[in-house]
Structure 1
């Protein structure tokens, strides 16, 4: 909406007030292309939200990957590293409890 309003305010004086239809179409094209571009740029946000949700629900074993070359990729890699730490802690705990149960059975 902001892009549409700003475009119509800036295009109308350039094309003239007699060409209000052309100004509106130009502003609409600018607004739609801005929406499409921003939607593509923030697409990794949804995958990061899903990954945080998985961590909150203790689902650490689903592997995903983002390759965007920006701060979204950096944030996602930090989350992925955290999931790997939690997974390794879980496996170590499972191994220790298995060994404890096995030694209790021998005694």
Structure 2
């Protein structure tokens, strides 16, 4: 009983955490290198165009390729972290973004992530 009460008193909401932490700006540019080959680019475009065609009536998803996902403010310092070739987020606004910044998207993570293998990523 006392452990449960102690845990409940330590649980912070996103609003509480946001007040205590200074986050970096949310307009971070994607830091992805160019795609490896023309075939690699065509595969990414096929995924994006197919999904946008299938869901052409929907406005509540974001599908993109070769864009950085910032999972935490500390990641900005880690240069070995790269974004996926393709990802989809449901329940969000379809608008242009420079990168996907999780803490600026109400803590929303991608629902599907695809990495296309190549000699440099295999």
**What TM bracket, shorter-length normalisation?**
under 0.3
- TM-score by length of structure 2 reads 0.22
Structure with greater helix percent: 1
Larger relative CO (CA 8 A, sep 6+): 1 or 2?
A: 2
State the TM-score, normalized to the length of structure 1: 0.24
Greater C-alpha radius of gyration: 1
